[in-house]
Amino acid sequence: MTDSDKAPIDFWFDFSSPYGYLMSEKIDALAAQYGRKVRWHPVLLGVIFQATGSRPPVDGTSSKATYMLHDFHRSARHMGIPYNPPSRFPLPTQNAARAYYWLHGQDCTLARQFAHAVYRGFFVNDLDISSPDTVLDIAAGLGIDREKLAAALQAPEIKARLKDECDKALAAGVFGSPHVIIDGEAFFGADRLPQIEHWLATGGF
């Protein structure tokens, strides 16, 4: 099988997910080592949690929430990825997700650059990525037409695209972020990167 014959990897995530951010910094390079491409799918965890009856892992002041907030730092250090806990967390991410899909329809590479900029803006620079103005600022910094994107954020077809992606995520069994699916095999969490690499290297185990 040639590299072009290998199915793409699907990467489902929410822009407010710390572990999604960590996965986003690694998954493309890892996939490329094994001749794979990655399809990025931003979704809304609020929609996923409502449909699955789940709750955010850092909801409230439980021991689990305290652990998770600590683990975000530790995981980032372990993976060598910059991480500055945002002052407002989590945040709604529909504007960033809509912007991604609008951009993806025109330029996949630019959409990927935008996604990285949004994630780093939130988890490194503490930007309020729930704000349409912030999303537009990030996009403008990449040379994207601000007025066209502002209109796209309210376009019915872009809103429908995000809803459709959330529906597809649920149909694929996605229940959180990040969720990576390779040849039908699902891996949940940034800590599954070693397993993902093993799977790609061996063709399954």
pLDDT at residue number 97: 98
pLDDT at residue number 3: 59
pLDDT at residue number 53: 87
pLDDT at residue number 54: 82
Sign of CA dihedral 106, 107, 111, 113: negative
Q: From the candidates 4, 16, 17, 62, which is the catalytic residue?
A: 17
Each residue's pLDDT expressed in tens, for the chain with a length of 205 residues: 555 578 999 999 999 999 999 999 999 999 999 999 999 999 999 999 999 888 777 766 688 888 988 999 999 999 999 999 999 998 999 999 999 999 999 999 999 999 999 999 999 999 999 999 999 999 999 999 999 999 999 999 999 999 999 999 999 999 999 999 999 999 999 999 999 999 999 998 9
pLDDT at residue number 74: 97
Sign of CA dihedral 41, 15, 68, 60: negative
Is-catalytic flag, 63? no
Residue among 180, 178, 203 nearest 22 (CA): 178
- Residues 23, 55, 91, 74, Cα dihedral to 10°: -40
DSSP tag of 179? E
Q: Which CATH architecture has domain 3-202?
A: 3-Layer(aba) Sandwich (3.40)
pTM for the model stands at: 0.93
Going from N- to C-terminal start, the domains of the chain cover 3-202
pLDDT at residue number 4: 58
pLDDT at residue number 190: 97
